[in-house]
Amino acid sequence: MRLFHACAIALTVLAPGAALAASAEHGKAMFILHGCWQCHGTQGQGSIATSGGKRLAPNPLPWEAFSGFVRSTNRAMPPYSEKILSDGDLADIYAYLQSIPKPPDVNGITLLK
């Protein structure tokens, strides 16, 4: 919920193209603005219902593979051209994904034992 509030505030003050170089905070806002969260969840955790179970974070794909896929995918995910998502904003989204910490050890989560 805090993330959503933070993003909503960010959306009101940042234009879509206002990239801040490698800013994870701005990347978080762009992750919401451009709808990445819709299929991948707000922490890039993915879902078998919408992303084939693939996760974006933590440890995202190398930048070249990540950005290449975003620009040119012809699979279920729709491609994002530079016209609708600038290189700067994409870099910030990548910085956001890099900033997401690892989850707790699954063997330490009582409910998942």
Partner 1 sequence: MAREESQIKFNRRKFLAGVAIAGAAGAAAPPAARAATTALTPGTTPRPSALRPSAAVAANETATPPAMAKSEGVPASDFMVDVIKSLDIKYMPCNPADSFRGLHESLINYGGNKSPEFLTCTHEEAAVAMAHGYFKIAGKPLMVCVHGTVGLQHAAMAIYNAWCDRVPVIVVGGNDLDASKRAPGVPTFHSAQDISSLVRDFTKWDDQPVSLPHFAQSFVRAYKLAMTPPHEPVMIALDAALQESTTLDRAKLTIPRYVPTSPPQGDGNAVREAARLLANAERPVIVVDKCARTENGVKLLVELAEALQAPVIDQKGRMNFPNTHYLSQNARGRALLGQADVILGLELSDYWGTVNGWIDNGDDDGSGLQESHVKPNAKLISISSILLNTKANYQDFQRFQVVDVEMAADAEATLPALIEAVKQALPANQRAAVEARGGGLKKAWSETRDRTRQAASYAWDASPISTARMAMEVYAQIKDLDWSSVGGDRQFSAWPTRLWPMDKHYHHIGGPGGYGVGYGLPAAVGAALANRDAGRFSVSFQPDGDLMYSPGALWTAARHKIPLLTVMHNNRGYHQETMHVQRMSNRRNRVAYLGKDLGPLGTRIENPDIDYAKLASALGVYSAGPITEPNELAPALKKAVQAVKAGEPALVDVVTQPR
Interaction site with partner 1 (CB under 8 A): 1-4, 7-8, 11, 16, 32-35, 37-39, 41-43, 45-50, 53, 55, 74-76, 78-81, 83-84, 103-106, 109, 111-112
Q: Is 4 helix (H, G, I), strand (E, B) or coil?
A: helix
Residue 33, both tokens: 């603005």
- Dmax over CA atoms of the chain, in Å, equals 46
Residue 81 CA to residue 79 CA, distance in Å, equals 6
- Least Cβ distance, residue 10 to partner 1 (angstroms): 12
CA gyration radius, the chain: 14
- Least Cβ distance, residue 63 to partner 1 (angstroms): 21
- Least Cβ distance, residue 49 to partner 1 (angstroms): 5
